Amino acid sequence: MIFNFGSINIDYTYRVPYFVRPGETLESGDYNIGLGGKGVNQSLAIARAKGRVSHWGRVSSLDAWVTSELESAGVGVKDVELTPEPSGHAIIQIDALGENAILLFSGANHGFTQEKMTALIAQTAPGDTILIQNECNGLDQLIPLAVSHGCKVIFNPAPMTSKVSSLPLDQCELLFFNRTEAAALLEMPVESSAADLLRRCKESLGDVEVVLTLGSEGAWYQRSSETLFQSALKVKAIDTTAAGDTFVGYFLAARQAGLKPSQCLQRATAAAALAVQKRGAASSIPMAEEVDRLMC
């Protein structure tokens, strides 16, 4: 089982002719509510990849539909807490050119207490895997707690913030970065080569496993002296939202099933290639059967 300590966001998406200006009231003719947040996207990706995942999260009791939706997708929701605080949510405007402007409110995602985290970790067994992203509070407490309990921590430090560099990353088992995240954390130019980024990763993080995704340029895996590269599939990308989350979820489900890192890279790459050809976040994450068809 992968325990995903992850954000739950509700995306309110409005199509608008242009982004609303200061002091203006703008009418939108098209409105959609969907599930989002990196945490939820990654839980859904693991479940759609036929992996076993339980989500540790917080969402307002007014949005209990979220737990039903996750559960029907195969995500464990026993530890999704219904809260009096508002849910994390994003107000997304999409203009006539397809550009977006996003207002994010973390809400319940930032309400984890030390007591709650201790209770979550207490139900794990040594060797269990805990997946985290950077959209919930308390990571500085959760990572050492998980490690001292013998859990394997897998961290996708997205979105990257300055607090990530103060976290005990060398205690993690596996880190997922995209190019901007790696460059920011390693204090290197964003145009650095993959080889330079990976070399610096090894210098700063030792033998921690690293997956570095580079969008349409493919993805790298590094562990000790082993380095693997997988090129991205050549497809017409129309919306890369959740490509990274799809990649993480499919990689981890393949790893859980005992596949080798090279096979995990291949499966994650195929799944992400399908995701970029569909609009939306959670709705663009493919089902395992679609990935199987693409790979055969």
Torsion angles phi and psi, residue 41, rounded to 5: -60, -40
Per-residue binding letters, 176-215, with ligand ATP (x by CB under 6 A): --x----------------------------------xxx
Give whichever of 121 and 252 is closer to ligand ATP, judged by the CB atom. Answer: 252
Which residues, listed in sequence order, are joined to residue 263 by a DSSP beta bridge?
none
Verify binding: residue 232, ligand ATP, rule CB under 6 A.
yes
Instruction: Provide the minimum distance between the beta carbon of 38 and ligand ATP in the complex, in angstroms, as a whole number.
Output: 8
Kind of pairing between the strands at 174-178 and 80-83: unpaired
- Measured from the CB of residue 22, what is the shortest distance to ligand ATP in angstroms? 28
Q: Is 280 one of the binding residues for ligand ATP (CB under 6 A)?
A: no
Residues 6+ away with beta carbon under 8 Å from 218 = 229, 230, 231, 232, 269
At which residue do the structure tokens 């959740």 appear? 242
- What does the alpha-carbon distance between residue 118 and residue 123 come to, in Å, rounded to a whole number? 9
We find the least distance from the C-beta atom of residue 272 to ligand ATP, in angstroms, to be: 3
**Coil, helix or strand at residue 102:** strand
Which span sits near ligand ATP by CB under 6 A: 8-16, 112-120, 184-192, 241-249? 241-249
Q: Is-catalytic flag, 245?
A: yes
Q: Which is nearer to ligand ATP, 235 or 288 (CB)?
A: 235
CA R_g for the chain:
19
Q: Which two tokens stand for residue 14?
A: 């409005």
Under the binding rule (CB under 6 A), the answer on residue 46 touching ligand ATP is: no
d(CA 159, CA 225): 28
> Using the rule CB under 6 A, is 216 a contact of ligand ATP?
yes
* Residues identified as active-site: 245
Q: Which residues of this chain interact with ligand ATP, rule CB under 6 A?
A: 178, 213-216, 218-219, 232-233, 235, 237, 240-245, 247, 269, 272-273, 276
